[in-house]
Structure 1
Amino acid sequence: MGKVTKVYWIGIALAIVFVGWGVIMPGNLDQVMTVSQNFFLNQFGWFYQLAATFFLVFAIYLIFSRFGNIKLGKDTDKPEYSRLTWFAMLFSAGMGIGLLFFGVSEPMSHFSTPPYGEAGTVGAAHLALRYTYLHWGFHAWAIYATIALALAYYKFRKGAPGLMSATLYPLLGDRVKGPIGITVDVIAVFATIFGVAASLGLGAQQINGGLSYLTDIPNNFTVQLIIISIITVLFTISAGTGIKKGIKYLSNTNMILAVLLLFVFLIVGPTKFVLDIFVTTFGEYVQNIFAMGMRLSPMNEQNESWIQGWTIFYWAWWIAWSPFVGTFIARVSKGRTVREFMVAVTVVPTIVCAFWFGVFGGSGIFFDFTQGTDIAGQSLEAGLFYLYEQLPLGIVLTVITLLLIATFFITSADSATFVLGMQTTNGSLNPPMFVKFSWGFILSASAVVLMITGGLESMQTAIIVSAFPLTIILLFTCWGMIKSFNEEVPRKQRSTDKKPKAKKEIKTV
């Protein structure tokens, strides 16, 4: 009990109020969330666009800056995990379920309802993949990398707790120990809850969709509730084994299954078409990344609505996820240098994610555009399984997908309980079991409440609202990080000079 902080009790109390509100008055909660979503999207869409682009520019700057040789730890520290295991953990925590849920459905949605121009055309096909890469690419991983870098740097090099509030120490000093720090950490906790709960809801919906495809099991809320309950038990068991066993083994399993699914799908699908369209559209994405990432449409209400519903929602989602994913990435990245870390976390996952969407989304476009198969007309959770019907080994692919969704589901929830436990026990790397179990229950209950009150739209609202104050915190975190780096590596010292010495630890946070 001694490790538990005020952030835990405040966070638990507010989470229980939210869950109770959704159970007792779901209609009222839905109404409030809808009003909140409209306000933030209409008034602050420009802010999310600028912030996401800033984090990308900041990540690029750090890769090429004189700070590249700073180590995330003492100068003698070595990485705890091999690069392969490290990458597996990044993907499992970062975007696992989303890749499967949106792999076919998002490109097909953009193909049938493009951000601009005529639907169902060659141009719409290119835009569909370009914007999907945008939403899951460099911007997203730059957001993760930025906060993960700050957390790892202050935790392993400066000896500070692995908390969001600790990243503001260079700016606020000892004030991070008071109400300001508690507020920052509570905001991070709630952003994590809503971000992860949305993913758990998506995972339950897609598992249900796959089971309905294979069997006569109906696709409805009751079945999804049962799925969430079963997965909750499984990830609770995994959480009890610790990060070096449960999460590590599940992450490696995820990577094996994901690679197997990707290459089997590539081989049995329209291989040449997929590779051609991936190379073409990825090049277009890189060429137009900044224009796409800052695009708004103030004089066209329909286009503006599309940007708000997709691009701005994604920026908010990745920001809301950043304390969770950032804390987890930081935890497994001790001993890496700033440059190695930023390249690995920003560039490598982007290329893999883009290839994933190029293969799955490109295949969906092929069958819809050239074969007349109505892939675009399917629901978000069923699009992938409908596409499998058009391919050899469709049943095998479905089974592999359901196993992968389940393991991603368990890993994401397991990682989230660890991160929430860490955030609410003053950065403990081994949070007490009752803390992790309580957060596991809250995550599952929050996912159920969001599904009751409006499904995907409710999840979007919770993410967009919770991400707004967190975005401001992350911007200040970048400022503090540059201030700390400048103290370690003065301007006159180039990155090729001798390794910087670790400064005095922060023991007062």
Structure 2
Amino acid sequence: MSQIADAPPGTGAGGEDPPIAPESPRTRINWTVLIGSAAGILAITVWAIADAAGAEAVIGSLVAWVSTNMGWYYFLIVTLVVVFVLVLALTRVGKTKLGPDHSKPQFSMFTWASMLFAAGIGIDLMFFSVSEPVTQYLAPPQGDGGTVEAARHAMVLTLFHYGITGWALYALMGLALGYFAYRHNLPLSIRSALYPIFGRKVEGPLGHGVDIAALLGTIFGIATSLGIGVVQLNYGLSLMFGLPEDVSVQIGLIAVAVVMATASVLSGVEKGIRRLAELNVLLALALMVFILATGKTSFLLDGIIQNTGDVLSRFPGMTLDTFAYDRPGDWLQGWTLFFWAWWIAWAPFVGLFLARISRGRTIRQFVLGTLLVPFTFIVLFISIFGNSALDIVMNGNAAFGETAMAQPERAFYGLLEQYPAAPLIIGVATFTGLLFYVTSADSGALVMANFTSHLKDAEADGPKWLRVFWALVTGLLTLAMLSVGGVTALQNATIIMGLPLSILLLFIMLGLYRALRVEISLADSYRASLPGIISGRSTGGPSARTWRQRLSRAMSYPGPRQANHFVDTVALPALQEVHDELRAQGADAGLTTDVVEPCGIRHVDLQVELGDERPFKYQIYPVQYDVPSYARGEASTDAKYYRMEVFSLEGSHSYDLAGYSRDQVITDVLDHYETHLEFLHLNRAVPGNTALTEDQAARDNWESDFAHQEDTK
């Protein structure tokens, strides 16, 4: 069944149309955030290049302080995030959609999972999938290395660092951005998640500061991945073509990546980024299958099962294990603290990107999908490559183990050299790594362009020149940090940048809690209302239809002429009558109507402003469908028909008013109005918390929900 006009303009909580449709807004540059963030990045870059030794010393001192004094805080904050997102997903609020109630996902599950995986994990997965298991096996944080238990725990640590915790951070940020953008039509920006706490203050210096901090954390997180990627790809090219491992080659790699990322990001999410992400995942799968098939298949399959069981059973204890009684030297800051700070730094970037591609999914689908789909792939990838590497070391190849520890960028390639057709597989791996590298760079450039723009709607992106600008700046920062102290300097800078962003996570959780508490009250108010408001059926009384009327309505498929006749003779007079009575009783009610293009059918909107609380909206809107194959003989199955559906601020209620009488429509309006008042009553303890927005001027800048057609149906 095809539905090409399923959502009226402004539908979604707070997304109502103004009485006179304003001129379509255009994307503008947020110069405050752009100049502030660019100045900060430029200052750090110049400082790192001009005084490399001084920069390295300062960064090292700050990291030592954070590791000594704030390690407990990193462990606590990430654990809170895991618990918070799981509670949202597994309780009834998980049914809430990232968008109006009638919205549907834009991308298939495979495409969606490919993009979130490719954006959320860069080339560093290839870097650490071999080097970390070997390192943790030979030099574990506690206990003796080189034992069977050390091997098991090495895999658990690697999966722990790349597992549920990091993806929960992404899920929190993406959920907050997607919920407030698509459910409440606020800008797709970090500051929107703080609206329930600070209100209109987020539009001023507070919001600018939040966006600048998020952008700085984002660009350092991306630069860390790109720095790791440059070093690893440099070795791959050296292995394949004999190129030297030096800064000149790394500059060339950064330049190539910037060019490729620019070409990809200019083509947008639906084309370039989507296709690269899908190809990325397919190539990574091919590499996994090759190693599984040509290696010790039975051992690797056993390892996958055991590693999964080990990480699930040990996760609760590990997530709060701060090594209070036996701190393993610099291990904590070099591994767990670095990974948590890295995931936090990436969270605004990946979260905004996930929100950008997740409109129409429920909170439960979004959270569980974000946690489980990539983690399943990661378990397979790390178990196959990590166990293959451990098997080589455990069987006596000490040189391979030493190389993996001392020169981790060589570990992945060193593993591939142990297999048949090594030159070909190394070439595929290098190309896959380059795609991972480019996907991170182009997604990052797109997101940072959006961070520094006032977008006309949540489906828009920043200007193309701004995307190119951020691609270039990211490359420059990567080069500068590599010149300071290589990958270690990038890791240390990430730990520092992650600290202020972690505070932002606390506010985001509080803002989401306040907003979703209102969603629960709204659901409770509908459950307490008359059955007819859910089903769209009259429940008796003088306006009840006869069974013949009901049957006739069920078998009719009205076209534009019949739909307009219903609006003119039933819908508009009914809402006009309710509007007039509301006005007579002192309510601030408004009634608007306009023609929906291209079908030529009018919609009718009744709205009642309720002070600081969420306004009441009742909209009758034509929704087009294909006439089904089971339609009666005289109806053409090639034609379209229209359902006159009821929409509120939350979206479509998915029932059809066509065939109702004027009195029945009035009854339905009053059912909705009484339900809305019951909703406000349930929130009476905290007056004013049901409306995220404060005035029409703010709402005029939000997205038009109708701009995004659900053409996947």
Which TM-score applies when normalising by structure 1? 0.96
- Give the drift of 1:46: 0.4
User: 1:413 is matched with which residue?
Assistant: 441
| Structure 2 residue 472 is the aligned partner of structure 1 residue 447 | no
Structure-1 residue corresponding to 2:413 = 385
Q: In the alignment, what sits opposite 2:520?
A: 489
Aligned to 2:42: 16
Equivalences for residues 279-294 of structure 1 within 5 A: 279-294=305-320
How far the C-alpha of 1:482 sits from its partner, in A, is: 1.2
* One-letter amino acid of the counterpart of residue 247, structure 2: F
2:488 maps to 1:457: yes
CA contact (8 A) 1:195 1:320 kept: yes
1:111 is aligned to 137
The CA deviation at 1:304 is 4.7
1:466 equivalenced with 2:494 (yes/no): no
Query: Which residue identity lines up with residue 76 of structure 1 in the other structure?
Result: H
- Out of 412-421 and 69-78, give the one that drifted further: 69-78
Q: In the alignment, which residue of structure 2 is the partner of 1:367?
A: 392
Once residues 277 and 492 of structure 1 are traced to their aligned partners in structure 2, the CA distance between those partners, rounded to angstroms, is 45
**Letter of the 1:395 counterpart:** P
1:100-124: CA deviations, max 9, x gaps? 1111111111111112111111111
- 2:452 matched residue in structure 1: 424
Name the residue aligned to 1:156. Answer: 182
1:394 lines up with 2:438 in the alignment: no
Deviation at 1:494, TM superposition (A): 11
Amino acid at match of 1:237: A
Match of residue 98 from structure 1: 124
Name the structure 1 match of 2:151. Answer: 125
For residue 3 of structure 1, report the CA deviation from its aligned partner. Answer: 3.0
Aligned mates of 2:691, 2:322 — CA distance in 1: 45
**Distance in 1 separating the partners of 2:481 and 2:163:** 26
Q: How far, CA to CA, are the matches of 1:116 and 1:4 in structure 2?
A: 49
1:450 and 1:459 in contact (8 A); partners too: yes
Q: How does 1:98-497 map to 2 (within 5 A)?
A: 98-301=124-327, 303-372=328-397, 374-378=399-403, 379-427=407-455, 429-490=460-521, 493=524
**Which one-letter code corresponds to 1:329 in the other structure?**
L
Report deviation, 1:183.
0.8
Shift of 1:464: 0.9
State how far apart, in whole Å, the 1-side matches of 2:479 and 2:285 are. Answer: 31
SS class of match (2:377): helix
1:358-383, Cα deviation, whole Å (9 max, x unpaired): 00000000111024353321111101
State the alpha-carbon separation in 2 of the partners of residues 145 and 13 from structure 1.
Answer: 30
Per-residue CA deviations over 1:90-140 (Å, capped at 9, x if unaligned) read 111001312111111111111111121111111110010001110000001
Residues 468 and 494 (structure 1), Cα distance of their counterparts in 2 relative to 1, 3 Å cut? farther
Paired residue for 1:57, among 72, 80, 83? 83
1:79 is aligned with what amino acid?
A: P
**Hey, what's the Cα distance between the residues in 2 that align with 1:2 and 1:93?**
25
Aligned residues: 508
**Residue 5 of structure 2 is aligned to residue 5 of structure 1:** no
> How far off is 1:495 after superposition?
12
Residues 138-162 of structure 1: CA deviation (Å, up to 9, x unaligned)? 0010010011000000111111111
Q: Secondary structure at the match of 1:376?
A: helix
Moved more, 352-361 or 270-279: 270-279
Conserved in 2, the CA contact under 8 Å of 1:163 and 1:427? no
SS at match of 1:339: helix
Shift in Å, 1:305: 2.6
Distance 2:351 2:482 in 1: 26
Cα deviation, residue 492, structure 1: 7.6
2:45–2:481 CA contact under 8 A, matched in 1: no
Residues 439/369 of structure 1: CA separation in 2 closer, same or farther (3 Å cut): same
Tell me, which stretches of 5 or more residues in structure 1 are unaligned? none
Q: Which runs of 4+ in 1 moved over 4 A?
A: 494-501
SS at match of 2:97: coil
Q: 2 CA distance for matches of 1:495 and 1:288?
A: 42
- In structure 1, the residue matched to 2:611 is none
TM-superposed CA distance for 1:4, in Å, is 3.1
Q: Aligned Cα RMSD in Å?
A: 2.0
1:472–1:400: structure 2 CA closer, same or farther, 3 Å change rule?
Answer: same
Equivalent pairs: percent with the same residue?
Answer: 33
Q: Is the 8 A contact 1:140 1:318 kept in 2?
A: yes
- Aligned partners of 2:67 and 2:332 also within 8 Å: no
Letter in 2 for 1:224: Q
Q: In 2 relative to 1, CA 4–396 (structure 1 residues): closer, same or farther, beyond 3 Å?
A: same
Task: Give, in whole Å, the separation in 2 of the partners of 1:25 and 1:311.
Answer: 29
Against the structure 1 CA distance between its residues 495 and 35, is the aligned structure 2 distance closer, same or farther, given a 3 Å change threshold?
Answer: farther
Residues 43, 335 of structure 1: alpha-carbon distance in 2 compared, 3 angstrom cutoff: same
Structure with greater contact order relative to length (CA < 8 Å, sep ≥ 6):
1
Change over 3 Å in CA distance of 1:388–1:115 after alignment to 2: same
> Is the partner of 2:454 in helix, strand or coil?
coil
Instruction: Give, in whole Å, the separation in 2 of the partners of 1:446 and 1:134.
Output: 29
The CA distance in 2 between the partners of 1:74 and 1:386, in whole Å, is 51
Question: For residues 210-245 of structure 1, what are the alpha-carbon distances to aligned partners after superposition, in whole Å with 9 as ceiling and x for unaligned?
Answer: 112223212222211211111111111222211111
Deviation, 1:504, is 6.0
Paired residue type of 2:270: K
Could you say which residue in structure 1 is the equivalent of 2:19? none
Q: Distance in 1 between matches of 2:253 and 2:290?
A: 27
Q: 1:419 to 1:328 in 2, by over 3 A?
A: same
Deviation per CA, 1:387-446, whole angstroms, max 9, x where unpaired? 112111222221111111111111111000110011110345221112111111110011
What CA distance in whole angstroms lies between the structure 2 residues aligned with 1:410 and 1:71? 31
Does the Cα contact within 8 Å between 1:162 and 1:426 map onto a contact in 2? no
For residue 453 of structure 2, give the secondary structure of its aligned residue in structure 1.
coil
Counterpart code for 1:324: F
CA contact (8 A) 2:100 2:360 kept: yes
- 2:62 equivalent in structure 1: 36
State how far apart, in whole Å, the 1-side matches of 2:333 and 2:308 are: 23
Partner amino acid for 1:201? Answer: G
Question: Comparing both structures, which one devotes a greater share of its residues to helix?
Answer: 1
Q: Is the CA contact (8 Å cut-off) linking 1:72 and 1:333 kept in structure 2?
A: yes
**Residue range with higher mean Cα deviation, 272-281 or 135-144:** 272-281
- The structure with the larger Rg is 2
Partner secondary structure for residue 488 of structure 1: helix
CA distance in 1, matches of 2:117, 2:288: 14
Deviations 1:446-469 (A, max 9, x none): 111110111121111111111111
Deviation at 1:300, TM superposition (A): 2.8
Aligned mates of 1:494, 1:331 — CA distance in 2: 31
CA–CA distance in structure 2, aligned partners of residues 406 and 425 of structure 1: 29
